Structure 1
Amino acid sequence: MKVPMIDLKKQTKHLLPALYRAFDQILTEADFIMGAPVHKFEQEFARFCGKRYCVGLNSGTDALTLALKAYGVGKGHEVITVTNSFFSTAMAISNVGATPVFVDCDETSHTIHASQIEQKITPRTKAIIPVHLYGQAADMDPILELAKKHNLHVIEDCCQAHGARYKGKVVPIGETGAFSFYPTKNLGAYGDAGALVTNNRNVYQYMTYAHNNGSPKKYVHTVLGINSRMDSLQAAVLLLKLKHLPRYTQKRRAIASRYNKYLRHIRQIQIPREMPYAHHVYHLYVIECEKRNQLADYLKKKGIQTSIVYPSGLHLQRPYIQLGYKRGDFPITERKNKSVLSLPMFPELTGKEITYVCKTIKDFYLRFS
C-alpha cells in the first residue's frame, strides 16, 4: 500500500464541478486581479476569523512582511520570535531591516516558550511574532499581557492554523494575524496566496495600498510598497474551500484521534498533545520518536511518506548563525529537531491507510528495538 503525506487530488476531484463554474465566470468576465471574488473572500475570511478587516495577498510571507511595516518595524528594531518555525517567520523580520531575536519552544506544545520572552526584551524590541505551529495555538494570554506591559506589537503567524482556537476563540487572538494559503495548508489555494486579518484600522488602510505597489489609486504612489495581490482564481478556490473547512477540520481531528489510539501504547513514541487551552486543527500530525531517521526510511520502503518539520532551528540556518547563534543555544528545539516526524495527514485519509501506517510503525519497533 502507498500512503502519501498529503493527497490534494482526492479533495480537488470532489470540488471540480463547483470550481469549473467559478472559473468559467471569472474567465468570461476577465476579472483576474483583485476582482469580485477577492473582495468577497476578504469579507468571508475576516468574518471566519472574527476580525473587522482582511486583505488578500500573494503569500503568508508577504502578510508578515507588510504587517511589520504597517506597525513601523524597521532598521534598528528587534522582533522576538521562536526558533522552531519555518524560515519565512524570521525572513520577514530580516527583510524589513529588523533583527530576529529567538527564544526556545515549549517542551510539550512545540510553540513559543512564553516564559522566555521577557528576558529577551531590550530597548530596541518593537514586536513579538508568536507562531501557531502544526495547527495548535501558542499560549497567547501571557504573550499579550507581556506586550501590553512593554508596549510591544503582536503579529501572530497563523500560517499553519486556519480555524485553530485558543480558549474558544479563533486565531489570531490579538488584533492582527498573517495567513498562508499554500496548497498543502488546511485552507489551500491552487498556487501561492495569503492574507492579513486585523482589527486595527490604520494597519488595514496601510495594507490596502502597500500590497498594490504603494498605490491607493491608479498612478498615485504614497509609499514604497510591494506587488502582492491575490488573483481572482485563487480567491474562488479559497471561497469554495472555506465553506468546507469546518468539515475538513473535523476529519483531521478524527484522524489524529485514531492515530493517538493506535500509537499511544508504543513506548518509543510520544504522540502530540493538545494543550488544555487549544482546539488543534492538525495541519500536521507530528510524533516524537526514537530512531527517527531509521523509522522514516523503513516507512518509505513500505510506501509511506513522512516529513521532518523541522530538521533545524532557525538559529542554525546560515543567515542567523552570522548573528552569533550556535548549537546548544536552544536545547528544546534542537532536541526536537532530532526526533520529530510528521505522519500522513489530510482529510481524505482512510481508516485502512491509518491502520497500515500505525501497524508499520509498530512492526518497525518490534524488529529493531
Structure 2
Amino acid sequence: MIHFPAIRRGPLRALGQRLFAAVGLVLLIVAVVYLDRDGYRDVNEDGITLLDSFYYAVVTLSTTGYGDITPISHSARLINVLVITPARVLFLIILVGTTLEVLTEQYRTNLRLTRWRRKVKDHVIICGYGTKGRSAISALLETGFDKQRILVVERNPAAVRQATSAGLVVIEGNATRSSTLNEAHVRHAKSVIIATDSDEVSVLVTLTVRQLTAGQVRIIAAAREAENAPLLRQSGAHHVIVSSATAGRLLGVSTSAPPLIDVVEDLLTPGQGMALAMRSATRDEVGVSPRQLEALVIALVRRGKVVSLSDQAATAIETGDMLVYVRDDRSGSGNTTADQSR
C-alpha cells in the first residue's frame, strides 16, 4: 500500500465529524419537538411521546414526511419554518457533502498515485524508517536532494504515519518481498539504502534488490555487527556501514584524542563549520597536483575508486576525477549543484 504525504484531514475523520453533526442535528430537532409536543397532532390522537419525537425528527430531516404527525399550533408551525426546515436542508448538505468528500478524496489519491508512478525515476529507496533511516534522509535533504525523489519502505504502521507526516511517500510493506520492491520501482531507482533493525533482514533485502535489478542499482546497507559486513557485500551491497564498529571507534578516539572527535562531529554536522564535499575536477585543474589547489583536497575518486593523496596515482588530477575536499559550511553557501556533501 502506497501512502502519500497528508495534505488534509483523512476521509474517515471527515466522515466521523459529519456523522456526529448529523446525529447532533437529529437530537436538536427531537428536543425542539418534544418541548412543544402539545402543538403537534398524531393520527392516533394519543399525544406525542419521546419516541414520536424521534420518529418525527428522522422522517422530517430525511424528507420522507409520512404526514401522520403534523404541527397544528402557530408556535409549532413557526418552529417548522424557522428551525426544522433549515435543519432539513443542512442535514441533506451533510449527507451529500460526506459522499462528495469521500469520492473526491479517493479520486485525488488515485490521481496522485498515477502521476507518481509516471514520474518516479532516479529516486532513492530507504528500507526502514528507524533511527538510521531518518538520519540517512536528513543527510540527503541537507545536500539539496529533492524530497519527492525519496521513497520509504516500512512495514511498521507507526513508522509509516511518522514518515507521511514528515512529507515522504511511503510504501507500507515488507522490503524482503519482490512485490513490495517492484511497487517501489526499484529497477528505476538511483540507489537503495537498507537501514533495517536486523542484519538478517538486511541480507534478505540486499539479495532481493540484487535479484530484481541485476546489480544495476547501487545498494548501501547498514550492519549492526562487523562480522555480518562481508555477508552483506557478498549478497550484493556496494557499500556497508557498520554502525556498532563506527560508534566504537569514535568512542575510542574520544578517549585517546578528545579533539579529534570534535573534528569528526564538525565534519559530519551540516552548518557547523567544516564539511566534506565532492565535486568534479574542472578543465583547468587537470594535470595539476591536488595539493596545489586552493581547496583542501583529501582524496580523489577515479573511475569509482577512492585514491588517497599518498598514492603515487594522485600526483596529478586526471579528466573525470572527483575531488573530495573540506569546505567552509558555516554560511551554507557551499551547497551548489556541483558539490555533493558527504
| Fold shared by both chains (TM-score > 0.5) | no
More relative contact order in 1 or in 2 (CA 8 Å, sep 6+)? 1
Higher helix share: 2
Q: Which has the larger radius of gyration?
A: 2
